[in-house]
Structure 1
Amino acid sequence: MKLEDILKDPSAAYDKPQDVLDDDNLTHDEKCKVLEQWEYDIRELLVATEENMPGPEGYSLDEVQDVLRKLCDEDGEGNR
């Protein structure tokens, strides 16, 4: 699957955030982009839910952020 397609809806391309980290077909930067998009999507969903417009349930913001932290730790950045 192309990166552009994955970025449109990361939750459709991966079952869970950890799967992004485990994907050997993506570079470190691509993994960051995917996880950051997933994080953004969840934040948008949270806003919509607060406005009584619920969407599909998926992984929590904490789960995506945890995987992002792991990715940064692998790269030696460690701070997110």
Structure 2
Amino acid sequence: MTQAASELDFEAALRSPKSCFAEPQDVVAHPALSREMKLAILREWEQDARRLSASEGEGFYGGEESMLGRVEDAINLVRRQA
């Protein structure tokens, strides 16, 4: 995780998840975020990953071919949590 739990700016994380978290799993494990907050951040990250995937399909390569799968896995994990 790139920020301590007490320093997380939710709005910044929502705008740019990759600037606040190294991996989607870091969102899942963050102790200061509610389930709804985690899902909101991960859904934004998912949209970013989908845009990147579409760009790669057009010949632009970002080097993060597995990010969409990791984000989807993290979303599913949060959905299963109580």
Displacement, 1:5? 0.6
Letter in 1 for 2:31: D
Instruction: Figure out how many residues of one structure are paired with residues of the other and give that number.
Output: 75
Identity of aligned residues (%): 28
Q: Is the aligned partner of 1:5 residue 2:15?
A: no
The answer as to whether partners of 1:7 and 1:37 remain within 8 angstroms in 2 is yes
Gaps of 5+ in 1: 76-80
Residue equivalent to 1:51 = 58
User: Which 4+ stretches in 1 moved above 4 angstroms?
Assistant: none
- Relative distance call for 1:64 and 1:73 in structure 2 (3 A) is same
TM-score by length of 1: 0.81
TM-score by length of 2: 0.80
Gaps of 5+ in 2: 1-7
- CA RMSD between the two structures: 1.6
